[in-house]
Amino acid sequence: MSLTHARAILPAVGTAHAAPLDDAGALAALSTGCFRFSPWVAPCGADGIWIDATGVSHLFGGEDRMVARIARVLAKSGLTARIAMAATPGAAWALARHGRAPVCVSTSTHDLDPLPVMALRLDAGTARSLWRVGIKTIAALKAIPRATLPLRFGKLLVTRLDQALGHAPESIDCIVPQEARRRAIVFADPISTAEDIRRCTEKLVRGLCEDLEKRQEGARKLDLVFMRTDNSHQAIRVGAGRPSRDLKHILKLFAEHMDTVAPGFGIDKAVLTAWKYAPLFPTQTDSDGGGQHAGDLAQLTDHLANRLGESAVYRLAPAATHIPERAQNRAAPAEDIPASAWPTCLPRPVRMFSPPEPVEVVSLLPDHPPARFVWRGTLRKVRCADGPERVCGEWWLNRDEVAEIRDYFRVEDQDGARYWLFRDNRLTPNQSHLWFLHGVFA
Amino acid sequence: MQNGRTSAALRHLTLGHLKETLRGLERAEGFRAKTGQAALPFGIAALDSLWPEGGLPRGALHEIAGASADAGGFAAATAFTASIAGRLGAGRPNAPVLWCARGHELYGPGLAGVGLAAQRLIVAEARNDKDLLAAMEEGLRAGVLAAVVGEVERIDLTASRRLQLAAEKTGCTALVLRRPGKRATPAPITAASRWRVGPAPGSGAQDFYQIPAARPWRLELIRARCGAHGSWIVEAPDAQGHLRLPALLADRSLGAPVWQNVA
Amino acid sequence: MTGYAELQVTTNYSFLRGASYPRELVMQAADLGLSAIAVTDRNSLAGVVKAYAAATDHKKKTGQEIKFITGCRLDLACGRSLLCYPQNREAYSRLVRLLTLGKRRVEKGQCHLTYDDVATHGEGQIFIALADAALGDFPDESLRNFLTRLKGDFRHQTYLALTRRFRPNETPRLEALAELARDCRIPTVATNDVLFHKSDRRILQDVVTCIRLGKTIDTLGHDREWSADRFLKPPAEMARLFSRYPEAVEHTQAIAARCSFSLGELAYQYPDENLIPELTAQEALEKLTHEGAAERYPQGVPEKVKRQIAYEMAIIGKLKYAPYFLTVWRIVKQARKIGILCQGRGSAANSAVCYCLGVTPINPDEQKLLFERFISEDRGEPPDIDVDFEHERREEIIQWIYNTYGRDHAAMTATVIHYRSRRAVREVAKALALPEDIAAGLVAAIWGWSESGVGEDRARALGLDPNDWRLKLLIRLSKQLIGFPRHLSQHPGGFVISKDRLDDLVPIENASMEDRTVIEWDKDDIETLSMMKVDVLGLGMLGCLRRAFDLLRDHKGIHQTIAGIPRDDPALYDMLCKADSVGVFQVESRAQMNMLPRLKPRCYYDLVVEVAIVRPGPIQGGMVHPYLKRRQKIDPETYPSEELRAVLTRTMGVPLFQEQAMEIAIVAAKFTPSEADALRRAMATFRNDGRIHEFADRFIGGMTRNGYEKDFAERCFEQIKGFGTYGFPESHAASFAILVCASSWIKCHHPDVFLCAILNAQPMGFYQPAQLVRDAREHGVTVRPVDVNASRWDSVLELDPGNPKGYLAVRLGFRLITGMKEEPVAALVAARERPYVSPRDLWRRSGVAVTQVVHLAEGDAFASLGFGRRDAIWSVKALRDGSLPLFDAAPSGGPEFAEPEAVLRPLTLGGEVAEDYVHLALSLRAHPLSFLREKLRKHGWMSLDSLKNKKDGAYVNIAGLVLVRQRPGTATGVVFVTMEDEFTHANLVVWSTVFERYRSEVMTSRLLACSGKVQTEGNVVHVVVRELFDLSHWLKALAQDPEEMSVALPGAAAEMRLASRDFH
């Protein structure tokens, strides 16, 4: 359904832009929260979570109770969920997404029979092909001699069917893809001192960095979660501008926040997970100090941002616009700035005042440069000038800019200093024009 | 050849410091071997010949201030600093410049116009001089930058010495850009060179409706470790950051010598 | 004060560059007091005729002259640009040839020219070199070299442009340019590089730039034109801006004075047609006409016709139009020779000469001809003969014309493709980076040809905030963009043929279609310059008739022609009076079907009236009801005045035809004939430019002064307005009425042949194959499904021994199956020496690709082999193209595969019908609604046949599938919706107020339910709609098998294809 169609039905329907990255982040956070149910949890697709309940359901008093507990916990956080527990990942997936009951524990493979073939994790094309010949349910599919299937619908169909029914194994790797990017320590005796926490953190980070080293990867976002004995958890999240597996660097990032961890009655488990990771190949480290690589620079900007504030460290990214103050944007230090920057034929000041400073000007209409002007209380006589450079407002942004036209002048005063002034061509209520000083040239 | 450059610093140093400084110098030496030069030439013989190295020494602290305490002087100082910083990393790919600023007046298009491209610039805004100096030092020590610029109003001898040491250690050049402050004469600092720069008055405009393309500056070297000082009329840097001497013909109208070394 | 002429002007005919029309620019220049204006579009002369016409009109209207200079901006391959103005006719020809040369080299819409090309065509031109390679750039060596070269080649014809840019360093830049010009001894000239006529077009300028570059306004960046000052300025302002260079301003005057060429000088000459060596064209035409007359009238040419011929010949001779007639005669003769049906239409049917030449079908002996409507000495307007050819074979005629006259003497006319509402809203929305969704929602309710854009009310109806700035901009800017030329396309069939080289007159470019060349001017331009064109049009019905005649000959041994069809066959009129006209040419629309039983046509002239009456002209003019009442003898036949009796007598005193409206203007409002014609043309122009009120005042004023009632005068004027765009002259209606006769006759006597022919001529007409098949079945024709062992590409006739009416059966052709291609079908039929036994057998023997066999299976073409749809698909799914040699060692007919048998669940009947609609767009099994009947009944929606017993004014609730939505002519009028169910059709009338409320339901529903009031008139029943409900989602349930789980397939695959046709 399109938005306009939806609005035709319900004009007051609210809208929000899709934010897949944020959604994925939230799902990852929710997955983290699910550690309490099982040590092996992973996001599944864009809207699901795998929980491997092998050997843990007894801790919750049986499968039904475990499922009910999960549903309760999620409901408490305001989430509606469909939950299914079954003998195979495939069956659980099918029942959670296509089963009738929102929460169920499957006891028999026949539970799958009435489900549509799409429940077998098929692509839309295969599902449609099956539909065409009237095979719409898993029961109908089971009734077809399986030897006839691969030729017509591909091998994956039979594999998926077998996986769901438990005839074929499904690799556990596949459902816990984060395995190697995670380290955990369980404490027999709960810890609570800052020193213990620091030591355990270092141990976790060291281990994780080794894992990452083996995989030639670097982490961009790390979560350190401390599970407390009271079933709540405390988390520290740090981000790196570029992928990193530098022990010292990561520890330094965590160190800044370590004092926020409140151990309560004790911590019995600590888990370190790298959520965002990317390939990172070893680079030659120059010993002379003159060579450098992006990783070191990222460490520097990470540290500066940690000290001065995240928004205080930035690059000036060129923006293609005629409006001078919009020609530069702040960009994250790790961001790549395009090489093609500002047009060179336009002389621009090295310092620009934001907002522009009002000045009093004597000039001839309609478009002559100022003859003299007063700025910050000082009268300046103009000896020569260039202009106007006529800049039109960006009418698409708002109504006010439709009529906005500025005439920019470069002027040189009697001392040889050069200024950038503009006249706002819109008339003020008392039929005059406002002038501003926008920048100073070198 | 290090005489002029180190004499001032040496006087107050203990032996341990001395050793460390020597190591730093050796490193700078090694750095020179690597990059082929320890100095940044201006491309103007009159300036470059002042230094035995043939240009502004790298891996050192330099101070630049406006000739006047007004906006015009500060803008010229900013542009001069940017042109040096821009050229410092120009030969080496990805060698960025950290600009520790105290406000948000820096204007990228203008800086690019004097040779500091946006791709090479990282800005760090500090709330006070203390944070700013710390950030500068961290930048210098990181060893990944071509230059670190700091817009400082107040800086004392100790602070400047720390920066100087950090610069020597990694070969990164520190540029202190003095913000015009309330105090008339800023406190002296340890610097390999100290500059004053500002628009040269008396540029001849014959036509009110034309600004001459040439931009004359008065550039003054107040003091350098090599002992040189002087003042020159030069043209503001071009888009590659190069200063130029005013062309003979074009400059006749200035009514001033082409360049004058008052040393 | 010195004068100023603007010499650098880009109009919106430099597509998506300029933001004003040529006319606007010329008028603004005149208002500002400029002495002259040139149009210099990029490598193009597409806009110059419009500007020329505007300047001419201005002079005619005000007596003041604004000199118009024809010019062009030449963008050379080297990156340099020049403005070029021909000083005289010879130079103009050279410029045109230069452009043709550049355009013929490359693909449509582009032009590739080098300096050397310019050099060889430069004699007699004035050049202005442009220095704006990059704005703000200073002159460099390359410009100096360029100028030196220009100066060397063209001495005193060369200037250098000085243009203010309002960018930094303007003064030194102009100074440097002036100095360079001095050095090169080239005078400077001031230009303003105009992009639009007034400053407020600046915003639209940015939008068209976005559209041209395919960017959004947010990402346009530095590609945005620095456009603040690129509008026309008064001479005083230009003098002020160039106060340092007064000579540059003066030179504009000098250039204007030197360019004495005017487009009015283009003396167009028609080619001599030396068909018969010793005779002149006129003599040859007379000879051919008399021979033709002897053929047309075997019993001897009637006196009346002889007189008419003589009269026409005299005028043709005087105006020297004989060669033009000979050309048309040749074209028609050629078509007959290769067996293509053709027939003249339009005003040419007013000519006895055309009838005798075999061009038009209207017999002057039977019909009053108005030769003046066709050719008039007063109007001095060239004749315009339009000939329809079978749609599919028209290309043969087109290529024959190219080959006969040569590509440098014959080319097709251009059609300017303008922005209309939908496209304008879509592209502006894209440029403003508004979601596609919003644009789609806004345009969904726009009728295709609308030119009024969308309003805030529509936005509000969609739940959008009309105060949103971008949405406001979208609404405003898309309205501005509507009417803008977007690109040149080729006219559907207009040919310009000239005696002199055509590329001396107008640039010729390649068309996007292969082997076609097109001139840069459209039909209005050609008319402005009095050039003659022949329209070679395509008409689907002619193809259908040819097929029908072939079938009659092959299957029934009947030899029939259009001319041979009786025009007085009572059976035919009986059929039409019952509105039994599905598929019949012109009178098959719902509005026409409503009219038929009221008008009750009983003779050929009634059909002429029938064709013309259901048109916007008579409807808007309120002439329909008066005519019907007089016809039914309810009202007496009266005439507004004696002088109009002669004009109106054949239509019982009510003006119905375009000619009559024109004659009223002349007789009653005292227009001169040429004024009346100007009036007609003013109405026909795409955008009325404010002149309509002038005409209204003159027309209505004139009539009331002459003693006519104001009401009648106003209605006549309304009618003229309606005629303007959608007018039917009587002669045109008469030509069409002949095709109505022909198609009715075949449908009436040979519905089997008619169905077969019309199915094979699809797409054409109002109805989908589903309705055509249904109609034929209701008339007793057996229709057989597509079958791999019986069908061919086209539908064919088969013997049907048991048919009570003796009709043949129609076997549906493979072309009806969606996705089917013609070549594989040929292979399939060729390899069918014995019947196919299975999908696999067919695939193996015919070599048809699997994808095509799948289409056959989905189209249920294997049913006769015992393979239902699902079985056939199952079987095809196992096939792999290319695996033939490997698996096919076994002899054919052997066991196919040692694979276990799968038992598939058969489709339900509802499922089959749904699949039929998806893949064939029709079903022979049952009507889709028969499956929903129970559900509809439960909800209180009655079947359509229940209307029969309802009284006038009764309230009903009905539901049906939407067949046709039609909004006749007028923009604010009613919408007609035709729907059907398993029993019959029904017509809904949706008044505009109701339509506004149910816009979405009317426009998008496939299954529609409605509450409303029955309105009966005679035996015509309408439902006047009060409320509407969209039940389309019910159709999804149709395909589902109640035994199977009600599981839904993701995506739209299960949606039924129940397309409707919309007419606007």
From A175, A208, A231, the end of a domain falls on A175
Q: If pLDDT is split at 50, 70 and 90, which confidence band does B260 have?
A: very low
* C167 contacts on A by Cβ (under 8 Å): 345-346, 389-390
Return the number of CB contacts < 8 Å for A and B. 203
Q: Is residue B259 part of a domain?
A: no
Query: Residues C561-587: pLDDT tens digits?
Result: 888 888 889 999 999 998 888 889 988
- Chains linked to A by 3 or more Cβ pairs within 8 Å: B, C
A24 and A57 share a domain? Answer: yes
Query: Whose structure tokens read 């064209």?
Result: C281
Three-class DSSP category at C987 = strand
A32 and A151 share a domain? Answer: yes
Q: Mean pLDDT across the stretch C938-967?
A: 88
- When the pLDDT of each residue in chain A is averaged and rounded to a whole number, the result is 82
Residue of A nearest to C1047 (CA): A116
Q: Mean pLDDT across the stretch B228-240?
A: 90
CA distance C172 to chain B (A): 7
A415 → closest Cβ in B72, B96, B210 = B72
**B209/C169 CB distance under 8 A:** no
Per-residue CA distances from C984 to C96, C768, C942, C960, C981 (Å): 61, 16, 12, 9, 6
In this predicted structure, what is the pLDDT of residue A4? Answer: 65
May I ask the CATH class of domain C928-1063? mainly beta
Q: Could you give the number of structural domains in chain A?
A: 3
Q: Are C250 and C2 spatial neighbours (Cβ–Cβ below 8 Å)?
A: yes
Return d(Cα C230, Cα C225) in angstroms, integer: 10
Query: Residues C880-919: pLDDT tens digits?
Result: 876 554 444 444 444 455 677 888 888 888 888 888 888 8
Mutation for B interface: C164, C171, C240, C244, most B CBs within 10 A? C171
Identify the bridge partners of residue B129 per DSSP, sorted by sequence position. Answer: none
Structure token pair of residue C853: 């066999």
Q: Are B138 and A300 spatial neighbours (Cβ–Cβ below 8 Å)?
A: yes
Q: What CATH code is carried by the domain that includes residue A241?
A: 3.30.1490.100
Q: Is the pLDDT of residue C554 over 70?
A: yes
- Which residues, 6 or more positions from C481, have their beta carbon under 8 angstroms from its beta carbon? C204, C207, C208, C419, C424, C427, C428
Q: Which range among C348-357, C512-521, C823-832 shows the weakest confidence by mean pLDDT?
A: C512-521
In this predicted structure, what is the pLDDT of residue C685? Answer: 57
Q: Selecting from 3.90.1310.10, 3.30.420.40, 3.40.50.1000, 3.20.20.140, what CATH number does the domain C5-197+232-265 have?
A: 3.20.20.140
Q: Measured in whole angstroms, how far is the alpha carbon of residue C790 from the centre of its chain?
A: 38
E-only strand ranges, C686-795: 783-784
E-only strand ranges, C590-708: none
In this predicted structure, what is the pLDDT of residue C406? Answer: 87
A128 → closest Cβ in C169, C224, C1049 = C1049
Q: What CATH code is carried by the domain that includes residue B75?
A: 3.40.50.300
Per-residue CA distances from A342 to A337, B117, C478 (Å): 12, 10, 32
Structure token pair of residue C526: 């050609």
Q: Is the pLDDT of residue C795 over 90?
A: yes
Phi, psi angle pair for B240, to nearest 5°: -95, 0
Query: Residues C441-456: pLDDT tens digits?
Result: 888 766 655 666 778 8
Q: Mean pLDDT across the stretch C932-954?
A: 89
Q: Is the pLDDT of residue C930 over 50?
A: yes
Q: Which range among A119-123, A421-425, C7-11 shows the weakest confidence by mean pLDDT?
A: A119-123
Structure token pair of residue C624: 């329909």
Residue of B nearest to C244 (CA): B209
**A313/B125 CB distance under 8 A:** yes
In this predicted structure, what is the pLDDT of residue A287? Answer: 36
A110 and A183 share a domain? Answer: no
Q: Is the pLDDT of residue B258 over 80?
A: no
CA distance A110 to chain C (A): 15
The DSSP-derived string for C216-265 is -TTT-GGGS---TT-B---HHHHHHHTTT-HHHHHHHHHHHHH----GGG
Q: If pLDDT is split at 50, 70 and 90, which confidence band does C1055 have?
A: very low
Between vectors from CA C941 to CA C937 and to CA C943, what angle results, nearest 5°?
85
**A4/C202 CB distance under 8 A:** no
Q: If pLDDT is split at 50, 70 and 90, which confidence band does A179 have?
A: very low
E-only strand ranges, A229-347: 233-244, 267-279, 313-318, 328-331
Q: Determine the length of chain B.
A: 263
Per the structure, the complete domain to which residue A84 belongs is given by 20-175
**B207/C169 CB distance under 8 A:** no
Percent of chain C topping pLDDT 90: 39
The DSSP-derived string for C385-416 is EEEEEEGGGHHHHHHHHHHHH-TTTEEEEEEE
From A236, A263, A279, the end of a domain falls on A279
Structure token pair of residue A390: 């006529």
Q: Is residue B188 part of a domain?
A: yes
A193 and A149 share a domain? Answer: no
- Residue among C969, C966, C948 nearest C1021 (CA): C948
Q: Is residue B63 part of a domain?
A: yes
From A237, A259, A279, the end of a domain falls on A279
Q: Is the pLDDT of residue B54 over 70?
A: yes
Query: Residues C644-678: pLDDT tens digits?
Result: 888 888 888 888 887 787 788 888 888 877 777 77
Q: Are C792 and C829 spatial neighbours (Cβ–Cβ below 8 Å)?
A: yes
- Residue among C718, C720, C719 nearest C676 (CA): C720
In chain B, count of helices (H) and strands (E)? 8, 10
Q: Which range among A375-379, B59-63, B252-256, C805-809 shows the weakest confidence by mean pLDDT?
A: B252-256
C812 secondary structure, DSSP code: P
Q: Mean pLDDT across the stretch A281-303?
A: 58
Q: Is the pLDDT of residue C322 over 90?
A: no
Structure token pair of residue C745: 């006759």
Query: Whose structure tokens read 């549903």?
Result: A71
Q: Is the pLDDT of residue C595 over 80?
A: yes
Q: Which range among C8-12, C712-716, C986-990 shows the weakest confidence by mean pLDDT?
A: C712-716
Q: If pLDDT is split at 50, 70 and 90, which confidence band does C590 have?
A: confident
Return d(Cα A160, Cα A182) in angstroms, integer: 29
Query: Residues A23-74: pLDDT tens digits?
Result: 877 887 787 777 667 766 777 878 888 887 766 676 677 888 889 988 988 8
Phi, psi angle pair for C918, to nearest 5°: -65, -40
Return d(Cα C488, Cα C280) in angstroms, integer: 38
Instruction: Please provide the CATH number assigned to the domain covering C779-913.
Output: 1.10.150
Helix (H) or strand (E) holding C492: strand C485-497
- Residue among C198, C249, C270, C258 nearest C228 (CA): C198
Between vectors from CA C84 to CA C82 and to CA C89, what angle results, nearest 5°?
160
Q: Could you give the number of structural domains in chain B?
A: 1
A436 class by beta-carbon count within 10 Å (0-12 exposed, 13-18 middle, 19+ buried): buried
Q: Is residue A30 part of a domain?
A: yes
Q: Is residue A147 part of a domain?
A: yes
In this predicted structure, what is the pLDDT of residue C191? Answer: 95
C790 secondary structure, DSSP code: T
Return d(Cα C342, Cα C385) in angstroms, integer: 13
Query: Whose structure tokens read 């003046």?
Result: C372
Phi, psi angle pair for B14, to nearest 5°: -80, 175
In this predicted structure, what is the pLDDT of residue A419? Answer: 96
In this predicted structure, what is the pLDDT of residue C971? Answer: 44
The DSSP-derived string for B71-99 is HHHHHHHHHHHHHHHHHHTTTSTT--EEE
Q: Is the pLDDT of residue C336 over 50?
A: yes
- Residue among C807, C758, C742 nearest C778 (CA): C807
Q: How far apart are the first and last CA of chain C?
A: 55
Instruction: Identify whether C763 is preceded by a cis peptide bond (ω within 30 of 0).
Output: yes
Domain range list for chain C: 5-197+232-265, 281-416+489-540, 565-741, 779-913, 928-1063
Q: Mean pLDDT across the stretch C65-70?
A: 94
Mutation for B interface: A284, A293, A311, A316, most B CBs within 10 A? A316
In this predicted structure, what is the pLDDT of residue B162? Answer: 93
C171 → closest Cβ in A3, A136, A386 = A386
Q: Are C197 and C232 spatial neighbours (Cβ–Cβ below 8 Å)?
A: yes
Q: Mean pLDDT across the stretch B109-138?
A: 92
Q: Is the pLDDT of residue C1051 over 60?
A: no
* A3 contacts on C by Cβ (under 8 Å): 435, 437-438, 441
Return d(Cα C45, Cα C488) in angstroms, integer: 12
CA distance A125 to chain C (A): 10
Work out whether strand C1007-1017 and strand C1061-1063 pair parallel, antiparallel, or are unpaired: unpaired
Identify the bridge partners of residue C1023 per DSSP, sorted by sequence position. Answer: C988, C1014
Q: Is residue A299 part of a domain?
A: no
Question: What ipTM goes with this model?
Answer: 0.74
Exposure on the CB side of residue C555, measured as CA atoms within 13 A: 22
Q: Which of residues 334-353 of A touch C (CB under 8 A)?
A: 343, 345-347
Amino acid (one-letter) located at C691: R
- Which residues, 6 or more positions from C777, have their beta carbon under 8 angstroms from its beta carbon? C783
In this predicted structure, what is the pLDDT of residue C139? Answer: 84
A35 and A119 share a domain? Answer: yes
Return d(Cα C271, Cα C746) in angstroms, integer: 41
Return d(Cα C22, Cα C386) in angstroms, integer: 29
Amino acid (one-letter) located at B175: L
Q: Is residue B263 part of a domain?
A: no
- Residue among C315, C476, C463 nearest A9 (CA): C463
Q: Measured in whole angstroms, how far is the alpha carbon of residue C555 from the centre of its chain?
A: 36
**B75/A289 CB distance under 8 A:** no
Per the structure, the complete domain to which residue B169 belongs is given by 3-202+214-254
Identify the bridge partners of residue A378 per DSSP, sorted by sequence position. Answer: A375
The DSSP-derived string for C413-471 is EEEEEEP-HHHHHHHHHHHTT--HHHHHHHHHTS-TT--S---HHHHHHTT--TT-HHH
A170 and A214 share a domain? Answer: no
Query: Residues C274-300: pLDDT tens digits?
Result: 777 888 889 999 999 999 999 889 888
Q: Which residue has the higher pLDDT, C593 or C685?
A: C593
Q: Is residue B261 part of a domain?
A: no
A380 and A233 share a domain? Answer: no
- Chains linked to C by 3 or more Cβ pairs within 8 Å: A, B
Q: Which residue has the higher pLDDT, B23 or C393?
A: C393
Q: Mean pLDDT across the stretch C150-170?
A: 92
